[in-house]
Amino acid sequence: MSGPIYGRVALIGLGLIASSMFWAMRRAGVAGEVTGYARTRATRETARRIGLCDHICESAAEAAEGADLVVLCVPVGAMGLVAAEIAPVLKAGATLTDVGSVKGAVIAAVAPHLPGAVHFVPAHPLAGTEHSGPESGFAELFDNRWCLIVPTQDTDPEPVARLRAFWEALGANVDCMSAEHHDLVLAVTSHAPHLIAYTMVGVADDLRRVTDSEVIKYSAAGFRDFTRIAASDPTMWRDVFLANKDATLEILGRFTEELFALQRAIRTGDGDHLHAYFTRTRAIRRGIIEAGQDTDSPDFGRGAARR
């Protein structure tokens, strides 16, 4: 890297993704200065204590003013309000992006507030852990993970190419797609699995014949991994499901059909159907490993939680 891609970057919201972006930016040298803002005073104080960002501001507008790249790292349900707050101070020629896992609803909420001289380039890094907050970030979070850039119809090619170079410098693989296709893909790969995990953990909680201590003590890998997913930030996921309602409901409908077919196979003793189904799904898992998006080690490559 010959020099910074952006002279000044503003991070609005200082959770896992924003804090990881800061440490990855520092590792790659792609930002001259980084400002940050979080809604709560406690989070801002934590960020100052751990040296997160070059300057922690007392408002989103203060952080965004004069920035070449502004990144919305708040829950998707809050992005429209934040965009309205910062729009008057956005620098002409600046790029506004986000890290939300829903794109259609974010574009609809954010775009109307922006002045014409600002480039809006929505994006979504497909990376995360079950941990949240400014202390949970680490520079390697995006290494060999995918970041999806979702240009709008009015987005110029140059800011898209610049943002692509930025995310690649942070360690990510980058691809572009439409907002509609993004939201369908994420409903399959992330949103529906999270909802199923929340449901499975809730079912275990409801089965009073299995005590709480037994659920915790005897958790085998399957249930343990469900609880890892279900530990994700509740505010973020509430907003995701409400914002990506149509695609999530479509995938859940497909899931219900598949589940009924498996119930029928178990009830009727159709071992051939079960074996064929599990063979196909095992191949999908093998494909994920071969693509470098996970490992086949016993702890799935995650090791001890990073703090």
* Domain assignment of residue 72, yes or no: yes
In this prediction, residues 264-269 reach a mean pLDDT of 91
What amino acid is encoded at 280 in this protein? Answer: R
Instruction: Looking at the structure, tell me whether residues 95 and 228 fall in a common domain.
Output: no
Q: What integer best gives the mean pLDDT of the chain?
A: 87
Q: What is the pLDDT at residue 301?
A: 44
CA distance 106 to 101: 9
Which pLDDT band, with edges at 50, 70 and 90, does 178 fall under?
very high
- Flag whether pLDDT at 62 surpasses 70: yes
Q: What is the pLDDT at residue 235?
A: 81
Q: Which domain holds residue 224?
A: 181-268
Q: What is the chain's alpha carbon radius of gyration, rounded to the nearest angstrom? A: 21
Which residues on neighbouring strands pair with residue 72, listed in sequence order? 12, 98
Residue whose structure tokens are 């986000």: 98
- Flag whether pLDDT at 288 surpasses 60: yes
CA distance 98 to 75: 10
pTM of the predicted model, to two decimals?
0.78
| CATH assignment of the domain containing 142 | 3.40.50.720
Instruction: Looking at the structure, tell me whether residues 147 and 216 fall in a common domain.
Output: no
Which pLDDT band, with edges at 50, 70 and 90, does 193 fall under?
confident
- Flag whether pLDDT at 194 surpasses 70: yes
Instruction: Looking at the structure, tell me whether residues 161 and 57 fall in a common domain.
Output: yes
Instruction: Looking at the structure, tell me whether residues 81 and 145 fall in a common domain.
Output: yes
N- to C-terminal Cα separation, the chain: 27
Cβ(151)–Cβ(125) under 8 Å?
no
Distance of CA 100 to the CA centre of its chain: 6
In the chain, count H helices and then E strands: 13, 9
Domain boundary (143, 161, 177) is at 177
In this prediction, residues 8-24 reach a mean pLDDT of 97
Contacts of 292 (CB under 8 A, 6+ apart): 144
Instruction: Determine whether 84 is exposed, middle or buried from the number of CB atoms within 10 Å of its CB (0-12, 13-18, 19+).
Output: middle
- Flag whether pLDDT at 294 surpasses 60: yes
CA distance 27 to 159: 22
CA distance 70 to 37: 11
pLDDT tens for 209-240 read 666 666 666 655 667 677 777 777 788 878 88
Cβ(167)–Cβ(97) under 8 Å?
no
Which residues on neighbouring strands pair with residue 9, listed in sequence order? 34, 69
pLDDT tens for 1-13 read 457 999 999 999 9
Domain boundary (140, 157, 177) is at 177
Domain boundary (177, 192, 223) is at 177
E-assigned strand segments in 99-191: 119-120, 123-125, 146-149, 173-176
| CATH assignment of the domain containing 232 | 1.10.3660.10
Q: For the chain, how many structural domains are there in total?
A: 2
Question: Computed from CA positions of residues 207, 213, 217, 221, in that sequence, does the dihedral angle turn out positive or negative?
Answer: positive
Q: What is the pLDDT at residue 300?
A: 46
Q: What is the pLDDT at residue 166?
A: 98
Q: What is the pLDDT at residue 132?
A: 83
